[in-house]
Amino acid sequence: MKNYGRASVGEFLKDRIVYRNLVPVDELLPELAQIRQLVGLPEGLTPRKSEAPYARVIAHLLREARALDLPGVPIERLIYVGDTRLNDGNAFANICRAGGWPGLAFIASEREEPPQAEVVEQSGGALYLANRWSMLGEFDRFCAEMRHWPDEQAAVVVDLDKTALGARGRNDRVIDRARVEAVRRTVGGLLGDAFDASSFQTAYDLFNQPQYHPFTSDNQDYLAYLCLILGSGLYALDWLVDQVQAGRMDSFRQFIAAVDERAGQLPPGLRAIHSDIYARVQQGDPTPFKAFRANEYLTTTARMGHLGDGASVPDLLAEEIVITQEVRQMALVWGERGALLFGLSDKPDEASIPSEEQAAEGHLPIHRVESHTVGS
């Protein structure tokens, strides 16, 4: 692999990106509030990427974006680039159905076994499953063989997290480390001298396991809050594990409601943080721990482009969140052929776009932050 210099995701996607709140960064595109009725989305609902209502929003935005660039040219086919068969595969199939388009998806995760690809037919379109990101060029040839041209009548949807940035199997662990550091920084800052780094790591690693996802909803805000409350001493880790395993504590909402009943026992500062998070959970906010997400933005961008240009490829992959050169290169080629390029990220807006205060200090949205570009 080779270091191809510095770039940003915005080089090839511009601002044609939506983060978790489904509000396009490109101000020429309509906000979610403006199209709710058009796509049949109830007030207060912000669907996640693998859900059918999410796909209806994306299909609408793709048509709006194509109409801005090439009025009168319809989208006839979809191409999708992602890193997970389940989440991205479902999102791809749903978008194909919502738009009424045939589709082909490239799903990759770097592995050590010999290079191989498998084509899997599914409802909504075919998946091209690869164990090398370098096989994206072969996928382009596969599209040509299938007469599924990435041209002016094609929309190309590119996943950001662990695809365009921090390619899965190659560079994704740096993204994970940034998130863990953000949780640690947030919890440690709030607990002060009471923070025990070893106990925190034990609790985080335990509840971050898939077997506890039904309890945490696989939500990092919930996990950060759990670590905060456990670190405060209000509940013991062993007690909570027993309650969850016995089915007596089966959801995060049940847990935070139990904390609310004992909130008077928390120190005043933590009591205020709990009250804010509890209120946001009751309102249905999927990212209620705002302090954590603000820290996640900082710990993520701090790992982008911070090494010198002479750093070795192994060091870049181990220490930086890098741009995936194969995705960058292919997106630029498809863009030159006239295809519409559009980016999706399930990362919360608060962890992706700087606050007003952060922006005033010169911070940029993640897709505009330059980092090194590495690939085959």
User: CA 255, CA 163: separation in Å to the nearest integer?
Assistant: 34
Q: Residue 128: inside a domain, yes or no?
A: yes
> 213: which 2 tokens?
């996802």
Please state, in angstroms and as integers, the Cα–Cα distance from residue 115 to each residue in 137, 198, 250, following that order.
13, 40, 42
Among 135, 93, 90, 139, smallest CA distance to 110 is for 135
Q: Specify if 295 maps to a domain.
A: no
- Let me know whether 208 and 129 are in one domain: no
Rounded distance between C-alpha atoms, residue 221 and residue 293, angstroms: 8
231 occurs within a structural domain? yes
State whether 117 and 225 are in the same domain: no
Domain ends where: 288, 323, 341? 288
Q: Do 193 and 108 fall within a single domain? A: no
Residue 299, in any domain of the structure:
no
Q: For 44, what's the count of Cα atoms within 13 Å in the CB-facing half-sphere?
A: 6
Q: With the C-alpha atoms ordered 306, 311, 314, 315, is the resulting torsion angle positive or negative?
A: negative
- Assess whether 147 and 194 both reside in one domain: no
Regarding whether 76 and 218 lie in a shared domain, the answer is no
Using alpha carbons, select from 363, 281, 357, 349 the residue that is nearest to residue 32: 349
Structural domain containing residue 45:
2-170+305-375
pTM, whole model, 2 decimals? 0.94
Residue 297 lies in a domain: no
Taking the C-alpha atoms of 74, 26, 40 and 38 in order, what is their torsion angle to the nearest 10 degrees?
Answer: -60
Task: State the first-to-last Cα distance of the chain, in angstroms, to the nearest integer.
Answer: 4
The number of folded domains in the chain is 2
In a domain, 300, yes or no: no
Query: Same domain, yes or no, for 147 and 38?
Result: yes
162: left (phi over 0), alpha (psi -120 to 50) or beta: left
Instruction: Answer yes or no: do 112 and 200 share one domain.
Output: no
Per-residue pLDDT of the chain (376 residues; tens, 9 = 90+): 999 999 999 999 999 999 999 999 999 999 999 999 999 999 888 998 999 999 999 999 999 999 999 999 999 999 999 999 999 999 999 999 999 999 999 999 999 999 999 999 988 789 999 999 999 999 999 999 999 999 999 999 999 999 999 999 999 999 999 999 999 999 999 999 999 999 999 999 999 999 999 999 999 999 999 999 999 999 999 999 999 999 999 999 999 999 999 999 999 999 999 999 999 999 988 899 999 999 999 999 999 999 999 999 999 999 999 999 999 999 999 999 999 999 999 999 999 999 999 999 999 999 999 999 999 8
Tens of pLDDT, residues 180-216: 999 999 999 999 999 999 999 999 999 999 999 999 9
Task: Let me know whether 44 and 178 are in one domain.
Answer: no
In a domain, 193, yes or no: yes
Q: Are residues 209 and 284 in the same domain?
A: yes
Q: Indicate if 138 and 35 belong to the same structural domain.
A: yes
**Domain's final residue, options 236, 262, 288:** 288
Pair 128, 8 in one domain: yes
Give a yes or no: residue 365 inside a domain: yes
Boundary (domain end) residue, out of 255, 288, 321: 288
165 and 312 inside one domain: yes
